[in-house]
Structure 1
Amino acid sequence: MQNLVHRLCEQSTAPSAPENRSSSAHHRIHVPHPFTPAFNGDSKVLSFRAFKAKLNVVFQRFESAFETDTQCVNYALSCMTGPPLEHYAPVFNGEVSDDEMIVENYDTVLALNGLPNS
């Protein structure tokens, strides 16, 4: 059973045959599920350094799915929980203005200003 799952995963990430550029709108980009454990600011569970490394690996492996900073920010946010997620939630929920352009700037999110244990 594990071999079957492994082969299916390989097939889903393997490059497909070249396609007509006009049909690119129908091409589906594989976006990985958020990784676990999620970053919660507790370095005993997942350090900030390890969190950034995992993000970098995902962004490199699935490069076509993360072409903009906004796509990277959204994925990074989906890999957070606890204090880090609470820190950014007001911006993403539209409760406060995004003066620092967090939604559009991956480097700003990685700064994690004011977060405990980062």
Structure 2
Amino acid sequence: MSDPTETAPAPSAAVFRRLQVLSKRSDFLAAARARRQGTASMTLQARFRDDGDPAIRVGFTCSKKVGKAVARNRAKRRLREAARLVLPENGRPGWDYVLIGRPEATAARPFPALLDDLRHALRKVH
């Protein structure tokens, strides 16, 4: 039996790194004035915040050019999942990221390629 006073090993820092979702229009506008990188399946806008908060914040948007509501929602779901998988390890603390869906490409692109596009865009903006 194990000793009850022993502590479990500490989880890695990535476990505690949660993504915060952007919701204020002013945050989206600030990201729009910052760095951007286009890929085949999305556009990434990124900016560094000087507020000292180490959280990684992310926002998602798809215009009506992407399609009707069903197509926009599907594209945003795919972008959210890609961000959840890629940003904790490739994003930087204190940065805001906005992922913008592209017409037909975001929903139709194979998911592994979508993940690679996001990783490539992050490398370029940093």
One fold, TM greater than 0.5?
no
The structure with the greater share of residues assigned to strand is 2
TM-score (norm 2): 0.25
The structure with the greater share of residues assigned to helix is 1
Query: Higher relative contact order by CA 8 Å / sep ≥ 6: 1 or 2?
Result: 2
TM-score (norm 1): 0.26
